[in-house]
Structure 1
Amino acid sequence: MNNRIQASYKFGLIGGVFCVLAFVLFKLMGIDPTKMSMLFGYFLIPIFLFIGIRFYRNQVNGGLLSFSDGMSVGFLIYSMIAAVSGLGIWVILLLSPSLFEEVKVSKLEMLIENKELIVEQLGIESFDITYENLLEMSAFDIGSNDFIWKIIPGLFFTIIISIILRRNFK
């Protein structure tokens, strides 16, 4: 097994499990789990990236870290977090149709509450298309949205952390 994969999969798996647990916890607290899970990911991803890349540098690679090593390890970590989180949320929503319907109704209510603003800024056509798409939304859509919104900040944070932790000499 590649040293990068071996050093990073633990951090990605644990981070992804934390995101799924946060989704469940936020639901139990009565908070919209999709929004809060996304925000929790913005907090969690940089922590796991920093710890994982630093672990790779100090424990696996003898104290050295090139930018490309940091980007590779970071990519593996945030991709694993995103995959576990997205799949976990998708499975939870498949197993709990009532939770899926709650999330769907919540999103429809939010759209309707903001109708005036949306129509003013984007036009009635955009509102109608969005409304129709929300009516056809599936559990997979919510899981894949979570995946995407963990990948995007993951890339951003990986670049920054790889630059900060880069060390080309002992």
Structure 2
Amino acid sequence: MKPLFKVPLKFGLIGAVINIAMFFVQHWTGSNPLMEMRVFDFFIIPVFIFFGIKEYRDTFNQGLMEFWQGMTVGFFIYGSIAVLYSIFLWIALQFADPDMLQSYITESLNVIKENKDLLTEEMGAESYQSSYDEVSKTTALDLATDSLVKKAGIGFLLTSVLSTVLKKQPKKIRLGR
């Protein structure tokens, strides 16, 4: 397998396993991982993208890297993390612990109810009721898809920045005057 795919798949798999492990840790400590996991996206995804791009550049590409190479490596890293975690999340909520989904819906509806006056003032009564109804109908697939989209969005933005920062091109020799 070429390093352009080998490195990101390694970092993507490890990142997904860590995300899944954090899910279990939060679940076992009594927290609802559905409410808390997004915080870890801002730590796990950037670390794995950074070190994955850096390893590709330094170890397999003689310290050189084009922007597109960094984007490709980063895409496969955050894509792997996002897809694998989302599949895990869907399976966990659909089959392993459906009560967790219901707990998430209940907690979310309580937050909406507690802030009803503020939300109605900002959004209007119809929008508030529409939001309430949508949260009531949340499915495991909805949460898995939401996780996938948010991880991919975070990953894309960070990959763009890190690919630019870590980009190194060969120095051009100028034949002088």
TM-score (ref. length: structure 2): 0.91
Structure 1 residues not aligned, in runs of 5+: none
User: Match of 2:81, as an amino acid?
Assistant: I
Residue 41 of structure 1 corresponds to 41
User: Match of 1:74, as an amino acid?
Assistant: G
Q: How does 1:76-115 map to 2 (within 5 A)?
A: 76-94=76-94, 95-115=96-116
Residue 70 of structure 1 corresponds to 70
Q: How does 1:127-166 map to 2 (within 5 A)?
A: 127-166=128-167
Residue 14 of structure 2 corresponds to 14
Query: Following the alignment from structure 2 to structure 1, what is the Cα–Cα distance between the partners of residues 124 and 63?
Result: 55
Question: What RMSD, in angstroms, separates the aligned Cα atoms of the two structures?
Answer: 1.3
Residue 50 of structure 1 corresponds to 50
- Checking the alignment, whether the CA contact within 8 Å between 1:7 and 1:60 is kept in structure 2 is no
Deviation at 1:32, TM superposition (A): 2.9
Query: Following the alignment from structure 1 to structure 2, what is the Cα–Cα distance between the partners of residues 26 and 126?
Result: 32
User: Match of 1:49, as an amino acid?
Assistant: I
Secondary structure, aligned partner of 2:143: helix
User: Match of 2:145, as an amino acid?
Assistant: S
Query: Following the alignment from structure 2 to structure 1, what is the Cα–Cα distance between the partners of residues 69 and 115?
Result: 45
Give 4+ residue runs of structure 1 displaced > 3 Å after superposition.
none
Identity %: 32
Deviation at 1:3, TM superposition (A): 3.0
- Checking the alignment, whether the CA contact within 8 Å between 1:49 and 1:74 is kept in structure 2 is yes
- Give the count of matched residue pairs: 170
Deviation at 1:144, TM superposition (A): 1.1
